[in-house]
Amino acid sequence: MKFLRCSIFSLTLAIIYVYAQAQTTALTGNKELQNNLQQARELESNGDLNGALSIYNKTATAYWVNGKLTEARDIFLNAASVAERLGNQNALKIIYNNLGMVNVDLERYTEAITYFEKCLAINRAQRNKAETTSTLINLANTYKELEKYPKALENAEQANAIALEINDAKLLRNTYSLLAEIHEALGNSDKSAEYFSLYTAFSRKIQREEQLKKEAEAQKIVEEAKGQLDVIKTEKQLTEKELNEKQRILETVKDSLDRVEQLTQEQKLQIDLLNKENALREAKIKNQILVRNIFIVVIAATLGMLGLITHYYLQKKRSNEELARQKAMVEAKSQELMQALQQIEKQNRDITSSINYAQRIQQALLPTYDQLISYIPNAFIMFRPREIVSGDFYWFAAYGGQGIAANKQNRQMIALPHIPENEFGFLIAAVDCTGHGVPGAFMSMIGLNLLDVLVRSGLTQPNLILNELHKQVRYLLKQENNDSRDGMDMALLRIHGDGRTIDYAGAKNPLIYITNNDCQIIKGDPYPIGGLQKEEKREFTLHTFTIDSPTSLYLFSDGYIDQFGGPENLKFTSKRFKELLQSIHHQPMIVQQEQLETTLDHWIGSDNTQIDDVLVIGLQLSAKPFNLNS
């Protein structure tokens, strides 16, 4: 039984729960909890109502978590009294919700309904539609426990209407699950199956949205990493450009110095000529002054030139060092990002490799098409997993008395001692497990193994096989102690050795057969193998019929029917699928498979993707006994 807390206060409840857990693990008795209660009463007497309310809530929650339900209820009542005096409506609705949950745990369902109704009144007054929906679900569950199914249905339908209004997928999933259980208890199998299908659809939708969110987050990380790498590359290019510009400036300065030196030499020649002219007219003292001045100019020019060269040399050296440092940083960051990308790619390769290996294991466990046509020559298996591994699987096995089994040559047959020597039969199943991909593949391994074990133990009647398979799945998945809905839908067919008598039993999956252009469908029982079971004992129905002329039979999962596509992007639907089979049934089975494949590809088109595993099995019987000697 699943009850919901008010969603807006989930964080508050989580904090109180953690606090209570810490208290519970730290205490070996009630002494500290009693001290807390005494402290709360003193705070209440002193007028500190907020402090008293906080301690009452924490202490009540500690008792609740510790399994002391009566004490928890009494303390929550104290907390409710304080909250009423404060006029704290938010605290009151939390406490009323907790009192409802505690009374449910105490199996005092009438009192639980009283407090859930109080919580509902506050939520409606606050116009909080999400929490109103959660409280209505709690009320519906409580009425269901009292077996007051009309009241439970009334509250569940109100919750569903509000969930549809606010378009809350998770609340819709919970209301559809609850409606399926209530209608199942009321004996409305069709309505129960309809709501369970909606529950399954919303569960898959939520799973897909969560998966898409995870993929988007992973893609965002990769794009950010690529963006950082592009920024680093851009910074590197800018740094190199800056260095080249500084190099160009330095070369320009050097050229200027060369020109200055050339001009200085020309001036020196002119001065020498002038000195020679003046030497004739000037005295030796003037000549000495001139020589001294020339030396001063030359030395000053030389020192200036050396200073400039030294300055630009040091500046270039510092620039080179800075560039080398930045280049090393860029290379280090690039290396780190490349290593991170390589790690992500390696993880993806490892995961894909593991799933591919799982696919090889799954394919090895499935029986082969060659084995099928050794018994039924005109047959096909259209098997198209949505991902690498599949939650859909097919299974078949031939069985017979030990005398028949001893005469077979290239066939696999299960020899059953308790079956008459000349009796022979052929079992074949199309199975759709909960989920797809890796989770569905795990369930398919369980189903394959159980079918082999049950038939080898002597079970050959389809409905008895489904009955026992249901028990084994619930036992293996411990579903007696949890609310797991994992299981499988199945259509199981037995063809007797005369080739005319056919037995069928189905867990939700139907059988279609066509004789003389007359198309018939036999529906399976409206509940799955495994998952939730409210009835005392689950038994599946056996359908037996005979054929007098060539007949085409089809077993299938819901993947083909539920596929979206076409011009209006709608489901393929069971009606369209039945019409397709009727239009192609007269053709050889291998041609029928090609037409089914082509039709599905055109339906999906380029704008859609396959949403589920697809499995269709076709058999064409001639209404003649099996020929075991060929």
If asked whether residues 232 and 126 sit together in one domain, one would say no
Check residue 430 and give its pLDDT: 97
Q: Does residue 146 lie in a domain region?
A: yes
For the stretch 75-130, pLDDT in tens is 999 899 889 998 899 999 999 999 999 999 998 999 999 999 999 999 999 899 89
Beta strands in 476-567 (DSSP E): 487-496, 501-507, 511-515, 518-522, 529-530, 543-546, 551-556, 564-565
CA atoms within 13 A on the CB side of 110: 0
Judge contact between 530 and 473, C-beta under 8 A. Answer: yes
> In which band, very low, low, confident or very high, does the pLDDT at 250 lie, cut at 50, 70 and 90?
low
Task: With beta carbons less than 8 A apart as the criterion, state whether 430 and 615 touch.
Answer: yes
Tokens 């404060």 identify what position? 86
Give the pLDDT confidence score for residue 94 in this predicted structure: 93
Average pLDDT over residues 582-608: 95
- Kindly state the tokens that stand for 351: 């995961």
Q: What is the dihedral of CA 137, 138, 144, 150, to 10 degrees?
A: -50
Cα three-residue angle 357-359-363, rounded to 5 degrees: 120
- Which CATH number belongs to the domain containing residue 586 in this structure? 3.60.40.10
**By three-state DSSP, how is residue 47 classified?**
coil
Domain residues for 299?
219-361
Do 443 and 573 share a domain, yes or no? yes
Question: Can you give the pLDDT at residue 170?
Answer: 87
Residues 426 and 543 reside in one and the same domain:
yes
CA distance 210 to 214: 6
Q: What whole-number distance in Å separates Cα of residue 557 and Cα of residue 36? A: 60
Last residue of one domain, picked from the residues 361, 381, 406:
361
pLDDT digits (tens, 9 = 90+) for 533-563: 888 899 999 999 999 999 999 999 999 999 9
Do both 158 and 107 map to the same domain? yes
Distance CA 552, CA 521 (A): 12
Give me the helices (H) in 106-188, please: 109-125, 129-145, 149-166, 169-185
Is residue 10 pLDDT above 70, yes or no?
no
Domain assignment of residue 21, yes or no: yes
Chosen domain end from 135, 166, 187? 187
Is 567 part of a structural domain of the chain?
A: yes
Residue 518 inside a domain? The answer is yes
Same domain? For 451 and 346 the reply is: no
3-state helix/strand/coil string of 535-554: CCCCCCCCEEEECCCCEEEE
Q: What is the pLDDT of residue 28?
A: 41
Q: Could you tell me if 441 and 352 lie in one domain?
A: no
Confidence of residue 137 (pLDDT cuts 50, 70, 90): very high
Q: Is residue 441 assigned to a domain?
A: yes
Q: Amino acid letter at 224?
A: E
Judge if 559 and 413 occupy the same domain. Answer: yes
Select from 232, 472, 401 the least CA-distant residue to 332: 232
User: How many domains, in total, are found in the chain?
Assistant: 3
| Predicted pLDDT of residue 237 | 74
Closest CA to 485 of 448, 439, 539, 454: 439
Q: Check whether residue 282 and residue 397 sit in a common domain.
A: no
Question: Backbone phi, then psi, for 507, in 5-degree steps?
Answer: -105, 90
Q: Are residues 371 and 357 in the same domain?
A: no
Of 156-170, 504-518, 593-607, the range with the lowest mean pLDDT is 156-170
Give the end of a domain, one of 305, 332, 361: 361
Q: Is the dihedral of CA 371, 375, 379, 383 positive or negative?
A: negative
Contact, 550 vs 622, CB < 8 A?
Answer: yes
Q: Does residue 207 form part of some domain? A: no
**Burial category of 571 from C-beta neighbours within 10 Å (exposed 0-12, middle 13-18, buried 19 and up):** middle
Are residues 465 and 576 both part of a single domain? yes
Q: Are residues 334 and 374 in the same domain?
A: no
Helix ranges restricted to H, 27-88: 31-45, 49-65, 69-86
> Do residues 348 and 376 share a domain?
no
Average model confidence (pLDDT) across the chain: 84
Q: Contact at 8 Å (CB) between 504 and 493?
A: yes
Q: How far apart are the first and last CA of the chain?
A: 57
DSSP helix/strand/coil, 342: helix
Spatial strand order of the sheet with 551-556 comes to 379-384, 614-621, 551-556, 511-515, 518-522
Structure tokens at 168: 């809350």
Q: Coil, strand or helix: which one is 143?
A: helix
- 578: burial class by Cβ within 10 Å (0-12, 13-18, 19+)? middle
In a domain, 197, yes or no: no
| Model confidence pLDDT, tens digit, residues 614-625 | 999 999 999 888
String of DSSP letters for 223-270: HHHHHHHHHHHHHHHHHHHHHHHHHHHHHHHHHHHHHHHHHHHHHHHH
